[in-house]
Structure 1
């Protein structure tokens, strides 16, 4: 593994050193683009009796700042988010340095999106899909990624030294982060990813893709490395002049931690937004999404996107109860505002039910019911 990682790093570094870049680009003046968003959220959860009595809760979701810059052929892309303290407070979502070798090829170094499955999102709604909650949708880690896109073919290769590393050394990883990663007494390290995409059709509206991932899991107690690997295949339909979008994906993963003797090997801790929970160490996830965009010609409203996203989590651990989630809703576009209205249904889903710690591990066999959270997220993007 270490020899492969060293070879991969040398190849990327050599390519960067000898890349040809137009002289006129090197003489450009620095550019800086600032943006961001402010979001508020209303939710009403069927399993929270006190909230039902109040008629739901409406409050602060996030404030974020986006920065894009370029100077002498080097680009910067960064996003800082600040949530309430209960959801982790302030942290980076992404931040990377980028160099474009050509219009088709680029390299990114830093906290960038892991090339796995449908990107940027395997979903249309505010809640994402089941893949997000076990670390396989819009995941961002610390490393080096190379992208090559010729239109019909795209491939990405990446090496990640660690996940969002905010606490160094032997300390437990902090759950104050945007995307779900392994936490607790384990730390992700030395991960390799490869993704290949083939686009079909006259306007390349059909996308077929395959992704593979493999890496190490360092245990703080035993000071030994376990292993982690995953694979996925996907299909997406997205035509420029069609209102329809279809997303289909199937994936599997296996995590083999090196716990101390006597510890339960059937789950690992994962964390984001300020809190950890347990996730089965083996499983498959099947997801499907369908959306339809309706243009609206009015002074205030420009469009409505209707969608339904479903995810099924098959845990490969004896005695563990499987999980489901389905989000039915619509995105309303009004100038700079994006308003998500979602009816999110969950079965053994920590964000959509009363069980938090073990919903994505053993669950609550014999006692689990479907629960629903009605959610309105309104954001002003600038």
Structure 2
């Protein structure tokens, strides 16, 4: 009933729409340099510098209905071409909006719970800047904000009868023999303050996990409390999450581990965990030729896994974002412990992990021109 109500509101307000079409095209080109502590041959040659990503953004509107899409192309090793986001939308007024398509999941701090190029730890479990296929209603008032959404499934690229989730995607989703289905989300924010601007919120999601082998559904959920503050040149983001996945796997297949996938490759993640993040940044305006601002930051994440035999995961990124016209350069020192993208064993660092693991680090510079 809620879905039909939203569509009724959608069409009943078309009479307020503008008559002339609008189209805006933008994009970005990014290159990346990295030097990793766990790659001895790369260290001996002084790191690697190469292609990261090219993207095209399109926003178009006519008679009140608009489309917002972003297509990215990475190297084949990182998934190749993929739609990062794309939705049809309608704004009822300055506060209320409806989006249908591949839209951001309203969970936790948005748009990003981080300041650096690597995101924070939750991104690697599909809990930051995640996008799924569904319908979302947003009411963004001056004091209160709330979002209600229903997602039929994650982005579907293989439309077979029993096809597995493709790893060629931007945001992490449950993969392997399980698929996310029929997920509901709700998010509530309260905003206050003048010199110290605060945003305190809670959000939750609940959905099904369809198992291709057993043809039965399990479930998953996430609960989050989050706070963001701005004071002068400072920004603070902090978040706590309780996350659980209960797959209905075939007999003999562990339910303590799920498979997740993005950027062309799957890996294992603990089914149940708590996630804690703390990110802080400070802007320093400068006037150095084209350079107008330096943003210094430190973003920290801790994944506390429920099984006692699993080793916890950590991530910390210290860096600076250099703004020079349309060129944005992230200079990051990213350190990880049992982190699949920061040394160690890619396959199961976020699951069982390794009790003998060492902290590994990657020095990274990302150059991006946005137009």
TM-score normalised according to structure 1 size:
0.95
Is 2:72 the counterpart of 1:78? no
Is 2:58 the counterpart of 1:64? no
Q: C-alpha displacement at 1:9, in angstroms?
A: 1.3
Of residues 358, 365, 377, the one that matches 2:348 is 358
Of residues 338, 343, 346, the one that matches 2:328 is 338
| Residue matched to 2:105 | 114
Q: C-alpha displacement at 1:19, in angstroms?
A: 3.0
Is 2:249 the counterpart of 1:259? yes
Is 2:187 the counterpart of 1:195? yes
1:174-195 Cα distance to aligned partner (Å, 9 max, x none): 0100000000111101000000
| Residue matched to 1:374 | 363
| Residue matched to 1:297 | 287
Secondary structure of 1:346's counterpart equals strand
Tell whether the 8 Å contact from 1:348 to 1:363 is kept in structure 2 after alignment.
yes
1:34-77 Cα distance to aligned partner (Å, 9 max, x none): 00000000000001111111110100000000000100000110
Tell whether the 8 Å contact from 1:44 to 1:52 is kept in structure 2 after alignment.
yes
Take 1:381 and 1:17, find their aligned partners in 2: how far apart are those partners? 35
Distance 1:21 1:178, change over 3 A: same
Of residues 25, 45, 58, the one that matches 1:34 is 25
Tell whether the 8 Å contact from 1:21 to 1:101 is kept in structure 2 after alignment.
no
Within-5 A mapping of 1:1-382: 7-19=1-13, 21-22=15-16, 25-27=17-19, 29-168=20-159, 169-202=161-194, 205-239=197-231, 242-365=232-355, 367-382=356-371
Q: How many residues align?
A: 370
Take 2:172 and 2:280, find their aligned partners in 1: how far apart are those partners? 24
Q: C-alpha displacement at 1:20, in angstroms?
A: 6.3
Take 1:290 and 1:202, find their aligned partners in 2: how far apart are those partners? 19
Distance 1:280 1:152, change over 3 A: same
Coordinate RMSD, CA, aligned: 1.1
Distance 1:244 1:21, change over 3 A: farther
Take 1:64 and 1:93, find their aligned partners in 2: how far apart are those partners? 9
Take 2:268 and 2:33, find their aligned partners in 1: how far apart are those partners? 27
Tell whether the 8 Å contact from 1:115 to 1:156 is kept in structure 2 after alignment.
yes
Take 2:103 and 2:173, find their aligned partners in 1: how far apart are those partners? 14
Tell whether the 8 Å contact from 2:79 to 2:168 is kept in structure 1 after alignment.
yes
Q: C-alpha displacement at 1:12, in angstroms?
A: 1.5
Unaligned runs of 5+ residues in structure 2 are: none
Q: C-alpha displacement at 1:149, in angstroms?
A: 1.1
Secondary structure of 1:17's counterpart equals helix
